[in-house]
Every structure is written in structure tokens, then in C-alpha cells.
Structure 1
Amino acid sequence: MTTWLHEERLNAVRAIIRDRRARRILDLGCGDGDLLLPLALDPGIERIVGVDTDPAALSRLQRRLEEAASENRPEIRLVHGSMTEGGAALAGFDCAILLETIEHIDPGRLSVLERNIFVAMRPATVIITTPNAEYNPLLGVPPHRFRHPGHRFEWDRAKFLKWAEGVAERQRYSMVCRDIAGHHPTLGGPSQMAVFDALPQDAASG
């Protein structure tokens, strides 16, 4: 069972995928498949690759896929691996999604993640969601604590926007940020999302 906030994240990401008419999808940090499984039922999707470092999660996802087998589902491949490695083998996709995953990475590895995704993979669109630390008090998260013990950091909106703008400028993408699951007048939303779209080469060089 997913929480209302997680459902809001999934809905926000699926809306961007539909808007971009993406057909070849990379789910980076796919976990048990909360995003991948609904995408597998979308007739507009042709291919999905799910990547995760947790072999147990991939095994659970494989079982879920077998239980939900459909003749018309897209080509699906599950890969045991890291978002910071092997990007060249995952090039050529329409959209890559990092759904609440970057906060599990050591901040010192974010530059490696950036190169792997935005240079080696270089999908047409990249969608990244991450918690908004400003909203934590409304969720009952004590000060100086993270929402999940596996998180290595949690950013406020200004920090996330600054990082996303830097990535977009360095890697020749346009970028927009938005709140997910509502908008508190001073604290923003519980989660935040950046959507990157690759710039044409002539626009990037001009």
C-alpha cells in the first residue's frame, strides 16, 4: 500500500511522461516497481528498463511482473546496478526517472551521478523528485532528522533549485522546478520535482 504523498509523486511523474509522449523509459532506483508496474500497463510505452542496487527489491518486482503478465505490455528489463555507473549502456531513452532516489546518494557522488545520467545516458527528458526539507515539520519529522534513515541529505527548495539550475546549465538542458502534493504558502510542497529537457545542439551552442 502506498501513501497519499507517494501516489501524488507517481501521478506527477506519469503526467510528465504523458506530456512528453515518452515511449522508452528508464526507471533509475525502481525498487519494488511502484512506478514501473503502472507504466507497464500504459499502451503508449514501448520499452522500460528498471535499475536498482537492491537484488531483493528486483526479485520482488520480477514476481510482481510475472503475476501481472499481459500480452500487450512493453519490453521490460531489470538491471542490478547503480545510477552512478554504466550509463553509456543505457543511452538512447526518451525519459529517465529518479523518484525519491538522489537523497540516498552521498552528496560527494552527485557529480558522478550527473555525468552518468546527463552525459553518458543523456535521455531526452530527466525527471527528479526529492523531499522538500522545509516541509518536514508538518510531517512530524524532528529537527536535525531525515524522513528516512537511508537518506544522506534532504534539501530545501532553494538548494534543490540551485543544484538543478547548475546541472541544466552545465549539461545543456532546460529545467523547471515545481512542488508536488500541494503548496504551503511558506513551506512549499512535501516533495519537489525538477524536469530537465535536452536542448537541441544548435540551441545549446548558440
Structure 2
Amino acid sequence: MLLTITTTVRPATDLGFLLHKHPGRVQEFRQSFGTATVFYPEAGEERCTAALLLDVDPVALVRSRGKGSPDFSLSQYVNDRPYAASSLLAVALADVFRTARAGRCTARPELPGTPLPLELRLPALPCRGGPDLARRLFEPLGWEVDAQALPLDEAFPEWGQSRYVGLTLRGASRLADALNHLYVLLPVLDDAKHYWIAPDEVDKLIRAGTGWLHGHPERGLITRRYLGRRHSLARTALARLAELGDETEEQLEPAVEEEPPTEDPAAGEAAEEETAADEPAVTTQADAGAEAEAGAAEVRPKALNVRRREAVLAKLAELGAVSVIDLGCGQGELVGALLATPRFAKVGGMDVSSMALTVAARKLRLDRMPDSRRARLTLFQGALTYTDKRLSGYDAAVLMEVVEHVDPSRLEALERVVFGHARPAHVLVTTPNIEYNVRYEFLTGLRHPDHRFEWTRAEFTAWASRVAGRHGYRVAYEPVGDEDPEVGPPTQMGVFTLDQRS
């Protein structure tokens, strides 16, 4: 399968700087399913073309599949995967052009932020929906689309058209945006993926869709197909898009894939542990500023999840906390931010999910963490509804977007464990404000499928006041995110402080 990228900007060989691939060399990149080769059929001042050729090894592809594969049996050996663009090409593109997708170019920092005249060609692309679907997906992104249905057999025109199209896209675009469009939309057009679709695919979709997916008229179709029609994942992704709006994960780099997971879920998790090691646990304001200075991306409003994390960090510093435990730490975003701040001499992270802790350890690069930083960190599995002495001994505890995941009948146990037994000097609780949900155009129901409830401002105030009074705390309330005059802020935060007289 083949992808060509052509530009006519002068000098056209700037394409080599953007792709980080020298026009004078042929480079090969091993994939678990074959070999990706990058070469330049033409490289002149007026016109330059880079080609990505993916040579799929059918035997290696079969070996990477399990019995849960949608094309198990004879179709493992007789299929279009070596010949037509698909998720295989998307994964190879993500690996080979990972720096270009991130919008970085150290040698020429002004280039990534500059739209270029581009022509992208895919000679054979499976398209379940035909040329019309290709136009519906790419034209809203500013592309001029030439999609031609390919005949089943040119020698027998009476057999009609196949489900494949020859696709050419023309337009002015940042190269990083163009590559991310292809990364997301190739498997969407094919309506299939060659690897197990795990929950982290939601993160990859959100990151690669930064700046364009939320406003796309076909975002529902794109989300469902990209996530293999797994309704729970699609619902999560759409809820996150609704919550983040145009601010969707601007602080995160596009997802990087080195190796596709296998079809076996357990093996897929193991493969993902290896591939995501290159992903940073946290993108700081300094990182974002450096990228902006390098011309990698325009400055956009911060995503709500970033503003929430920053609000928590600022409040912890204001309270003078030097030891903090993140209760329900998930994949370690807040833990990573705490470790990056030297004032926090002792950092803990607890979660009920061993899988989340495994991902957190990987993203934090625990195995390569300097000893001085590692000595400050404790990660462990536990449940907030059971007394645990490991929760004690911290100045502050954080429950960031956690309480709404607990069954209402078990909230009293959580209160007793955190406020009654652990009793840190300060507890920070953030939770969604359900009143604000009407401002999310595409949201129906709660913001996340695992939420047991979401509180109004009055309900949160009543709960927090009751807990504070019962356990000897004072509580203050602060908004997180832009406050709407009618429905309040998107996130509400309660800051509990232990009354020293109690």
C-alpha cells in the first residue's frame, strides 16, 4: 500500500525538514506486520514528493492475530491488507512520522506552523460508504477531494464497482494536521482495525482530533467507526468532546504508536505498555510555551482537565502542603505534576484499578525515574471505602473527579475513611457541576458512562457541609473553569480544612 505527499511550496525540499526524512535517502522502518519504506520519487525546488510504501508480511500479520479477530479462518490468508490502505498504514504513518505529527521541527521551527500547498494520494483505499463518504469526511476539513470508485475488475466492467476508491486530497494545510486527518480517517473509511481496540484508543482519538474533530459534522460517525462501534468507548469519547469543546486536549501531543497491539486483549495491554513509554505523563505550561515559541502550534484556550489540574496544584501550594496523596489517581496525570514540583516532598497515588496503576507507572517512567524523585513517590492499590493506614501521614488529600464514580450508598464509607481515619489537614474535592451540562451541545445524560451521579451546586454544597460538620472540618467552595452567570462553572471544588479545635 502506498501514500504520497507532494508540495509545491518553494523550496519544496522543506518537506524533508518537516517529515524528518532526508530526500536523498531511502529509509526502512520495521513494523510487527512488515516493513515501511520512505523515499522521494521527486525532490526539486519547485516540487517535492515523499512516499510511504508499506510492504505487509502476510505471515507476520496472521501470527499477530488471535481467534477473536474479525477475519479469523480463511480470510486471514486471503484479504486486502497487503494492498489497500487501512489501519496498518495509519499505524505505520504514526510510527514513521511521529515527530511530524507532533508538529515539531528543531532545524526549522517556523515550518510546522505554516500551511503548505499539499497533495495527498492513496491509490487504493477501502471505503465503506463509497466516494460520497470520503467527501463528507475530508471536505469539512478544507480539502478538495477527488475520490474515484475503482472497478472490481477493469477487464469485466459489467461486474460493477468495488468498495475501494482512489483518493486524492488537495489543499493548504499544516503538515501535522494533514497527517492526523489521515491517521484518524483511514480506519474510519475502512470501518475496521487490525488490532484489539482497548480503552486507551479514546485518548488517541481525542489527541489526534485536536482542533478539528469536535467541530466536524460527522464527528459521531467518525467516533463510532474509529472505536470499532464499541458503544461504551464511543459514548465516553463523545462525552469528553462535549466537555472539552474546542479546547479538546490542546496541551497533549498527538498520540504515538510504535507497534500495534495484537487481537488478544491481554497481549494488547502488554504491547501497549511498551509503546506508550514515549508518551509524556504531563505536558507542563513550560512545555506548551516552548512549543509555541518554536512555532509548532498556535496558542489556544486550555482544556478543562488542564485547568482543573492547575487549580488543584495552585490551591495545594497556597495551603502550604508539602506531602500530598492523590486518591483515585487513575493514570497518574496529577501525580506526575506533583512530582514535577519540588515543593511536594512526599507524593502518594492510590487507585482501585491495578490496570490504571500499571499505566501510571509506565507513563511516569517509574523504571527510569531518578532515585531522588522515586524516593518521593508511593503508588499502591486500594479502595476508598475501606480503612487503610497507608492513607495517613499526608498534609493534603485530593479527590479529583472521583466521588461521582462511587455509588451513593457507599459515599458514607468514603467519608469515614478519608475524613474520619486518614484525617489530612486539607482535602480537595472536585466534581462536575451537572447544571453546566446544558452548555455542552452534544452531551446527553451524564458526562461519563461510569458516573453514578452528578451534583448541582446546591447538592454539592449540602454534601460537603454535612461531611465537614460531621468530621471537624471547615469547607470553602471555588469554581474551576469559566463561570457561567446562569449555570455556574463546569467544575466545582470544595476545599476542606481540618479545624484544629476538633
TM-score by length of 1: 0.92
Q: Paired residue for 1:39? A: 338
- Residues 115-126 of structure 1: matches in 2 within 5 Å? 115-126=416-427
| SS of residue paired to 1:169 | helix
Residues 1:177 and 2:501 aligned together: no
Give the AA of the match of 2:333: D
Return the offset for 1:86.
Answer: 2.8
Return the offset for 1:48.
Answer: 1.1
Q: Paired residue for 1:134? A: 435
Q: Paired residue for 1:195? A: 495
Return the offset for 1:141.
Answer: 5.4
Larger RCO (CA within 8 A; separation ≥ 6): 1
Alignment gaps of 5+ in structure 2: 1-206, 208-247, 250-302
Over aligned residues, Cα RMSD in angstroms? 1.6
2:361 aligned to 53, 62, 66, which one?
62
Q: Paired residue for 2:239? A: none
Q: Paired residue for 2:390? A: 89
Deviations 1:130-181 (A, max 9, x none): 00000001123555x1110000000010000010011111111110012110
- Residues 64-79 of structure 1: matches in 2 within 5 Å? 64-66=363-365, 69-73=369-373, 75-79=376-380
| SS of residue paired to 1:56 | helix
Give the AA of the match of 1:164: A
Deviations 1:60-98 (A, max 9, x none): 111122267235425111111111113333212100000
Q: Paired residue for 1:165? A: 465
Q: Paired residue for 1:104? A: 405
Give the AA of the match of 1:137: V
Q: Which runs of 4+ in 1 moved over 3 A?
A: none
Residues 1:15 and 2:314 aligned together: yes
CA–CA distance in structure 2, aligned partners of residues 155 and 109 of structure 1: 16
CA–CA distance in structure 2, aligned partners of residues 72 and 55 of structure 1: 25
Contact 1:141–1:147 under 8 Å retained in 2: no
Give the AA of the match of 1:83: L
Contact 1:87–1:117 under 8 Å retained in 2: no
| SS of residue paired to 2:397 | strand
Give the AA of the match of 2:454: E
Farther off after superposition, 60-69 or 29-38: 60-69
CA–CA distance in structure 2, aligned partners of residues 187 and 87 of structure 1: 38
2:448 aligned to 148, 159, 174, which one?
148
CA–CA distance in structure 2, aligned partners of residues 87 and 141 of structure 1: 40
CA–CA distance in structure 2, aligned partners of residues 172 and 55 of structure 1: 33
Give the AA of the match of 1:122: R
Contact 1:178–1:194 under 8 Å retained in 2: yes
CA–CA distance in structure 1, aligned partners of residues 388 and 467 of structure 2: 17
CA–CA distance in structure 1, aligned partners of residues 451 and 391 of structure 2: 25
CA–CA distance in structure 1, aligned partners of residues 372 and 307 of structure 2: 27
Farther off after superposition, 34-43 or 62-71: 62-71
CA–CA distance in structure 2, aligned partners of residues 63 and 89 of structure 1: 22
CA–CA distance in structure 2, aligned partners of residues 105 and 188 of structure 1: 24
Count of paired positions: 201
| SS of residue paired to 1:51 | strand
Return the offset for 1:53.
Answer: 1.1
Return the offset for 1:47.
Answer: 1.1
Alignment gaps of 5+ in structure 1: none
TM-score by length of 2: 0.39
Contact 1:27–1:96 under 8 Å retained in 2: yes
Return the offset for 1:120.
Answer: 0.7
Return the offset for 1:39.
Answer: 0.5
Return the offset for 1:54.
Answer: 1.2
